[in-house]
Amino acid sequence: MKENQITHNDGHKIIIPFTKDINENIKNFEMLFEDCQDVVKRRFPIGKEQDYWAYIAYIDVMIDRNIIESSILDQLMVQVRQVPKELGEIPIERRFDFIKNGGLTTADIKELTSMDEVSAAVLSGDTVLFIEGYDKAIMIATKGFPNRGVQEPDTEVVIRGSKEGFSEAFRFNTVLIRRRIRDTKLKVKQSQVGVRSRTDIGLMYIEGLVRPSILKEIEDRLTQFKVDAIFESGQLEQLIEDDWKSVFPQFQVTQRPDKAASAILEGRIVLIVDNTPFVLILPATLNCFFQASEDYYNRWQIMSAIRLLRYIAAFFAIALPGLYIALTTYHPSMLPTTLAFSFAASREGVPFPAVLEIVVMELAFELLREAGIRLPGPIGSTIGIVGGLIIGQSAVEANLVSPIIVIVVALTAISNFAVPGQSLTEAFRILKFFIIAASATLGLYGFWLALLVILIHLASLKSFNLPYLLPYVSSNLNDYNDLGDSLLRPPSFLSKKRPIFTNWRERRKLVIKKKGE
């Protein structure tokens, strides 16, 4: 008899014996899954004499019924009876191997030696087979989860490039990456997190390209905590990030398999979490959030101009409201005379200071944005457009806000959406209020002080021991090669080396042969 213990999250331990008596094993298994009406259990005979029994268990709908009926039940209840030698004539010590190797017509099987492994297999969507006379069981891979399939990502829309997006199915996501990188050195290290949810997670990387220190660091962090459940990659991100106090994201999040595959080829690691279409890419620097997939699918001149525009948009998204307040409230003399008179004329009759106008309009836009997200698609877009127009126009006509304030808030919002890294724009939404407060208190001094505080914070951030502001700081670590693909996108024939994320022995990615070679 083998005694195996199952430890629950509350520390309570249940000792469950795994015996050679199939009746005892069935009793213990059904005790574990008591009142679980979605668990299908069946005891059935094997062989011609029907005096040798087996027991099968799985969760309904989580499995592929065709595999169970054709590869398991039909084989064991019908085909095994037709073998030249009756099952009863096979020695008892060989029956388990005979059924495992000759009675099942599916390739993905595994021996289970503990009741804890049995329960984990059933809860993962596999089928478990108990055989009379053995203190072990067989796990047959029969996963058949309902899922959306491969659809177009809705958060990273591109004009040119792949239209495939990750789904909630873990194995679908690994396949979408593997079909893009057909290399045996592409590894998938799979494990589970969550004592109760037992969520499948996987680290995908290319052996030789990845830095061993970074790989070991992420593996260590994934084992440093115990949690009830992980339902989304965002929960895991918050548990293993470097600085939990920072509003800036330290992981890239993507729905695009081509973007994840490109990151892997740079020596980075992709962390896939089951039940979510959002995968994590690490390490991540600030520069990574301004790079989009289609940057490398279009001509370098066009995409260089667009990337530069993104950086300008990021500055407007975070600083434009605060800069307007600082100039109009404290330093109007710095404005051209005509522009200053225009601002003053637009604010004529408005009873509130510019700070209050900005804050009220920004909060109104944030409310509209949240309402548009929560409402159904067609209704949400209608509410966002019509609500913004009506509220803005009505507020101007009622002399509650000036027209220039509406323009500033609208331009700030548009600039926010122009940055491809969605998780980075979430940080901008918070920090713009910090700059507004500093500008309203100290004018331009407060404006520049707030920007300096943010810059100092960025300079102190690290993502798995790599400076967050790479390649704008410490660019000499990679012989200044990363500066070429930063503010501008260089021509493809000049991008001959991988970025600093890669193992230093494998930096070269492009070799162009000369004529005659």
Give CA–CA dist 432/441, Å, rounded.
14
Burial class (CB in 10 A: 0-12, 13-18, 19+), 144: middle
Give CA–CA dist 226/202, Å, rounded.
17
- Does residue 290 contact residue 303 with C-beta atoms inside 8 Å? no
Residues 6+ apart with CB under 8 A from 118: 29, 112, 128, 137, 139
- Does residue 350 contact residue 463 with C-beta atoms inside 8 Å? no
- Sequence letter at residue 412: T
Query: Looking at the DSSP assignment, which residues form a beta bridge with residue 253?
Result: 280
Res 106: pLDDT: 79
C-alpha distance from residue 41 to each of 124, 149, 152, 209, 467 (Å): 16, 29, 38, 47, 55
Please name the residue ranges forming H helices in 275-353.
Answer: 300-325, 337-346
In the numeric block, the tokens 């667009």 are attached to 306
Joined tokens for residue 318: 């975070």
- Does residue 43 contact residue 129 with C-beta atoms inside 8 Å? no
Give the distance from CA 99 to its chain's centroid: 41
Other CB atoms within a 10 A radius of the CB of residue 113 amount to 13
- Sequence letter at residue 337: T
- Does residue 2 contact residue 18 with C-beta atoms inside 8 Å? yes
- Identify the segments of the chain with pLDDT beneath 70: 1-15, 47-51, 78-93, 377-386, 516-517
Buried/exposed code over 164-201 (b: 16+ C-beta within 10 A; e: otherwise) = bbbbbbbbbbbebbeebeeeeebeeeeeebbeebebbb
Residue 382 belongs to what H/E stretch? Answer: helix 377-397
What global pTM score does this model have? 0.86
- Sequence letter at residue 315: F
> Would you give the end-to-end CA distance of the chain in angstroms?
69
Residue 27 belongs to what H/E stretch? Answer: helix 22-32
Joined tokens for residue 203: 């680290």
Q: Indicate the pairing of strand 127-131 with strand 52-59.
A: antiparallel
- Sequence letter at residue 222: L
Residues 6+ apart with CB under 8 A from 280: 233, 236, 237, 251, 252, 253, 270, 271, 273
- Does residue 76 contact residue 102 with C-beta atoms inside 8 Å? no
Which of 286, 269, 279 lies closest to 218, judged by CA? 269
